[in-house]
């Protein structure tokens, strides 16, 4: 496996970590829902006590198979990595995290923070060739086919789930969820379309010799006439 693929996988894992953190610590802890398959999984938690980590994964499997058929094995593998890592990270937060983000008294702040983090996490995964679940795959396919901005597709598809939220959540929490999803859609579009990159630096091993890299454009032809090089007050012909 080459370094480029490893880099993509590492960044996809970063995106799903951000996403799982936001869903558990902000949405769930403050009774906000979400759109898409994760929203359905959160509804399963509110209504039946099911863990969103595994409900979302079960919903994702048929669409991941569709992605394999339509987008190829590489996209399917990255999507599978995204879906599995999201479920794993969410499950770990659910079982082990002691961190509490209590914003019940300020749901506007909870909605803004949720939108920023979930949009950033999902956008990173999509930008680097993967998806965090089946709803991401469907939104990407619709965006590619229709030419719509992917953030707008996310918001439109999430609206259906948010309507279902009204059967389980109070109107106030549902309206703040709509705001969070709208912000997330804008952040996803920005993340996907803006020219930025996540860079990483590898450690450099120290050696006894110094390596110098010079671009070809900086190399000038050496004059054919003899020249002198002064080293420690000694003249050397070159």
Neighbour tally for 216: CB within 10 Å: 5
Position 37 pLDDT exceeds 50: yes
DSSP of the chain: --HHHHHHHHHHHHHHHHHHHHIIIIIITTT---SHHHHHHHHHHHHH---HHHHHHHHHHHHHHHHHHHH-HHHHHHHHHHHHHHHHHHHHHHHH-------TT-HHHHHHHHHHHHHHHHHHHHHTT--SSHHHHHHHHHHHHH---HHHHHHHHHHHHHHHHTTTS-HHHHHHHHHHHHHHHHHHHHHHHS-------PPPPP-SS------GGGPPPPPSS--EEEETTEEEE-
pLDDT reading at 223 higher than 60: no
pLDDT of residue 29: 92
Q: Is the pLDDT reported for residue 233 higher than 70?
A: no
Q: Where are the domains of the chain?
A: 3-193
Q: When comparing pLDDT for 101 and 64, which is higher?
A: 101
pLDDT, tens digit, 9 for 90 and up, residues 100-155: 899 989 999 999 999 999 999 999 998 998 887 777 788 888 888 888 887 788 88
What value does the mean pLDDT take over residues 5-30? 94
Confidence of residue 43 (pLDDT cuts 50, 70, 90): confident
For residue 222, pLDDT over 50 is answered with no
- Model's pTM, two decimal places? 0.72
Band of pLDDT at residue 14, cut at 50, 70 and 90 = very high
List pLDDT tens digits, range 90-101: 999 999 998 989
Sign of CA dihedral 199, 148, 134, 19: positive
Q: Is 195 exposed, middle or buried (0-12, 13-18, 19+ CB in 10 A)?
A: exposed
Q: What is the pLDDT of residue 197?
A: 61
Report the pLDDT value the prediction gives residue 218, as an integer from 0 to 100: 42
Is the C-alpha dihedral spanning 168, 170, 175, 181 positive or negative?
Answer: negative
Per-residue pLDDT at 205: 47
């Amino acid at each position: 496996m080459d370094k480029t693929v490893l880099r993509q996988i590492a960044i996809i894992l970063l995106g799903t970590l951000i996403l799982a953190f936001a869903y558990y610590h902000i949405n769930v802890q403050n009774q906000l829902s979400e759109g898409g398959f994760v929203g359905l999984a959160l509804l399963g938690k509110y209504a039946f006590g099911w863990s969103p980590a595994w409900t979302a994964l079960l919903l994702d499997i048929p669409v991941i198979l569709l992605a394999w058929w339509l987008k190829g094995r590489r996209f399917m593998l990255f999507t599978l990595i995204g879906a599995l890592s999201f479920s794993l990270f969410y499950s770990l937060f659910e079982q082990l995290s002691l961190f509490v983000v209590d914003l019940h008294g300020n749901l506007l702040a909870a909605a803004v923070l949720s939108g920023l983090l979930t949009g950033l996490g999902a956008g990173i995964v999509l930008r680097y060739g993967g998806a965090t679940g089946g709803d991401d795959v469907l939104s990407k396919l619709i965006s590619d086919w229709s030419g719509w901005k992917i953030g707008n597709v996310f918001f439109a598809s999430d609206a259906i789930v948010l309507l279902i939220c009204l059967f389980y959540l109070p109107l106030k929490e549902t309206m703040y969820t709509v705001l969070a999803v709208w912000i997330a859609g804008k952040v996803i579009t920005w993340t996907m379309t803006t020219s930025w990159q996540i860079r990483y630096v590898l450690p450099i091993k120290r050696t006894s010799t110094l390596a110098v890299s010079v671009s070809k454009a900086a190399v000038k032809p050496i004059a054919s006439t003899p020249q002198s090089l002064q080293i420690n007050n000694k003249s050397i012909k070159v």
